[in-house]
Amino acid sequence: MAFSKKFLIGAATAAHQVEGNNIYSDYWIQENLEHSSFTEPSGSACDHYNRYEEDISLMARAGLNAYRFSVEWARIESEEGVFNEAEIEHYRSVIRTCRKYGIEPIVTLMHFTSPAWLIKKGGWEAESTVGYFGRYASYVAEKLGPELNYICTINEANMGLQLAAISRRFKLMAERASSLHESDDGKVQVGINFQKMIENAKYAAIENAEAFGTSQPQVFVSSRTEQGDKLVMKAHLAARKAIKAVCPSVKVGITLSLHDLQALPGGEGFAESAWEEEFTHYVPYLRDDDFLGVQNYTRTVYGPQGQLPPGKDVELTQMEYEFYPEALAHVLRKVHEQIKGELIVTENGVATNDDSRRVEFIRRALSGVESCVADGIPVTGYLYWSLMDNFEWQKGFAMKFGLVAVDRKTQTRTAKASLAFLGSFAGRS
């Protein structure tokens, strides 16, 4: 099976997770606190900042035709109001390298990391962030927009509300003195160490206060209030407006983290309200977008008492959630009920040490995508997460999502079989 030539088949990364030495960012500070919840700091990560050409050429050789990556706000505006031309030149070179290898670049403006100065000013709960983000988006669009066809404003704009819901549940469990297990981290899709966060809370608060002037810095991936959630949407709208003002032909969208929410008898109410919170209430903000970035990793099942843990015999990924590639097509179909425009799978993937399971995951996920396309759902691309094994946030480098292995001592790249397998789906005609 292969898609048409126009269909985007590629891989995704995020600046902080692969570039290395993102020293002006909020995450860099948090990773290096004495009581950090991060298992290790990002350090030089995969040195993608210097090795991007090698990485892009690996994709091209395997037949991939698209690459989603993020430009780093903390590099471009490391000091408030001071924009760095040299960093723009760097990203221009990444974009041109993609073009040289026949790869469509898809740029994300904000993939979780922010400049540390923004967080000191209240971060993602402060109204002023809307203006700052709009100004940054305008600068990037003016400089790089003419070279691009696709920009994602914000990655997983709904992550903050998902975290809020999960931390409510965690607090409840802690109050009831039931023991938390590391595997409970699997209830959230992204790399978070809840147990460690709770254990470290007291000291981390003091260290954060010293670093950011507040014991609870509002980095992007933290529990969002309802007001903060609206603010994220306003930031998206401000960025979209800014981009369209300078480059009207660039397609602008946002990406959302979406679970396949399934209900056993009696669990329907939970699944419906979770979908409302995770997706439906954002729809009014997205109506004028050119595409939606759909990001899915697994399913969540609800019973009459709420969310159920994965069954005993179920295969788990390294992230402790269920290996369930069918979730992607279910989510695409559900999203299409409310959004009729272009959908791009901007992330979908699996963390595993066994690459043959990754091949199987991609095979089943793409067969679902193919069935959606056959049914007329306008899915125009599939970007696997991730191009290479990288820094999975608080969980560090242990999670292996990559199509390419990276030896972090030597920074040597080794393509896994899954890379060529994914490339084989790219259409030649």
Interface residues with ligand BGC (CB under 6 A)?
14, 17, 155-156, 189-191, 257, 347, 385, 392
Specify whether the backbone of 6 is left (phi greater than 0), alpha (psi in -120 to 50) or beta. Answer: alpha
Shortest distance, CB of residue 277 to ligand BGC, whole angstroms?
Answer: 17
Can you list the alpha helix ranges (DSSP code H) found in 10-127? Answer: 15-18, 26-31, 48-61, 73-76, 85-100, 116-120
Shorter beta-carbon distance to ligand BGC: residue 138 or 318: 318
* Of 113, 64, 116, 142, nearest in space to 403 by CA: 64
Does residue 83 contact residue 76 with C-beta atoms inside 8 Å?
Answer: yes
* Of 75, 110, 103, nearest in space to 89 by CA: 75
Measured between alpha carbons, how far is 326 from 323 in angstroms, rounded to an integer? 9
Shorter beta-carbon distance to ligand BGC: residue 17 or 138: 17
Measured between alpha carbons, how far is 66 from 113 in angstroms, rounded to an integer? 23
Shortest distance, CB of residue 125 to ligand BGC, whole angstroms?
Answer: 20
Shortest distance, CB of residue 244 to ligand BGC, whole angstroms?
Answer: 24
Shortest distance, CB of residue 36 to ligand BGC, whole angstroms?
Answer: 18
Shorter beta-carbon distance to ligand BGC: residue 247 or 387: 387
One DSSP character per residue, 254-274 reads EEEE--EEEE-TT-HHHHHHH
Shortest distance, CB of residue 257 to ligand BGC, whole angstroms?
Answer: 5
Shorter beta-carbon distance to ligand BGC: residue 36 or 318: 318
156 is catalytic: yes
Shortest distance, CB of residue 274 to ligand BGC, whole angstroms?
Answer: 17
Task: Determine the residue with CB nearest ligand BGC.
Answer: 190
Measured between alpha carbons, how far is 158 from 142 in angstroms, rounded to an integer? 27
Is residue 177 classed exposed, middle or buried when 0-12, 13-18 and 19+ CB atoms within 10 A define those classes? exposed
Shorter beta-carbon distance to ligand BGC: residue 170 or 384: 384
Measured between alpha carbons, how far is 331 from 319 in angstroms, rounded to an integer? 20
Instruction: Kindly report the length of the chain.
Output: 429
Does residue 22 contact residue 15 with C-beta atoms inside 8 Å?
Answer: yes
Candidates 72, 104, 156, 347; catalytic one: 156
Shorter beta-carbon distance to ligand BGC: residue 153 or 189: 189
Q: Which are the contacts of 221, defined by CB distance < 8 A and separation ≥ 6? A: 112, 159, 160, 163, 190, 192, 393
Catalytic residues: 156
